[in-house]
Structure 1
């Protein structure tokens, strides 16, 4: 009887399921369909060979308290990773940075308990809020990244903040050109993060 030969069948890597969880900066405030940050980032990652889907679970006007309240039902089981971007509205309202940090810390811990990876997108305070507040707020994101060993992009609006040609008329939210720059700048770090979740397709 001839010996049987077993040929290994390659296992196809599953599509990575990511969720963008933030406020209006992530939600695509006043942008045309498909021009929001998550959609543009997904397209860029796919062009680079990554099999990913990014669901946008962002809510304009959301604070970290609001995000914490809706975290569990907004992030579905089976999610591989979350792009976490919250805190700008806390800052604009002058909320105590200690509460902002505690809310983000709780979100990160809950996601870790569900074995969901987090990529932290940081925010910086408006310097007009004063040196003490700015110092306390700006320390939130790097300290959380260190405490939880998270990858971090220090300032989500890097290169866009203060640049009127890259912002909507409100002087706060990115326009499509601004989003394109944000994606370009965030992309390398996100790619490195994805490689820890699943090999490149």
Structure 2
């Protein structure tokens, strides 16, 4: 009985020692990683399926291509964070940004709103959602780039015009950079899109990367 107690007690002490060593190693690794990433410039792309790269390989999506082009130009310290979610609207955009704050992004490319427009959702709500997200980003010292979108006139000319102007108005209000049309030279071009006519193919993403890159360079 005494021997079994001693063995049990010894195992408990050994287990505590292992836990302590493991915790210490994890802390050391965490501190090391934090130090290694201190000089990184993190660029967050917050968007929908266009940003997520639906239908193409991950490294063919425009955020990844922007990262490649930046490295080719000598910006090897830039890390790309693809926060694209297929089907996403502007609802919850601020909450999504809050989740990404742990990564301390320096640049935000806000590319949401297309699904709001295609579904005919409230433009007032869309504007408010984007506004909240922009304010949160600016409060966290991010360089904000707002990606404008255009939609087919399915809901009438007034809705289409107001949708387009929402992005311009927000950019002027907050004095942030505006990409007039994220899908410039891509939208409506059969050779730049997949069979659905909505989502860009690999060539389309290459063009989007060319459109977006100059705005990001201004933030670096």
Q: TM-score, normalised by structure 2?
A: 0.79
* Comparing 70-79 and 108-117, the one that deviates more: 70-79
Report the Cα distance in structure 2 between the residues aligned to 1:190 and 1:92, rounded to whole angstroms: 27
Structure 1 pair 116–193 and aligned structure 2 pair: CA distance change class (3 A): closer
Contact 1:151 1:193 in 2 (8 A): no
Report the Cα distance in structure 2 between the residues aligned to 1:189 and 1:67, rounded to whole angstroms: 21
- Residue 70 of structure 2 corresponds to residue 49 of structure 1: no
- Residue 203 of structure 2 corresponds to residue 188 of structure 1: no
- Count of aligned residue pairs for this structure pair: 182
Aligned positions of 1:1-201 closer than 5 A: 14-50=39-75, 51-194=77-220
The alignment's C-alpha RMSD in Å is 1.4
Deviation at 1:52, TM superposition (A): 0.8
Q: Which residue is 1:9 aligned to?
A: none
Q: Give a deviation string over 1:11-30, Cα, whole Å, max 9, x none.
A: xx922011110000000101
Q: Structure 1: give runs of 5+ residues left out of the alignment.
A: 1-12, 195-201
Q: Which of the two has higher C-alpha Rg?
A: 2
Higher relative contact order (CA 8 A, sep 6+): 1
The 4+ residue runs of structure 1 with deviation greater than 6 A are: none
Q: TM-score, normalised by structure 1?
A: 0.86
Structure 1 pair 89–47 and aligned structure 2 pair: CA distance change class (3 A): same
Structure with greater helix share of residues:
2
Deviation at 1:162, TM superposition (A): 0.5
Other structure's SS at 1:61 match: coil
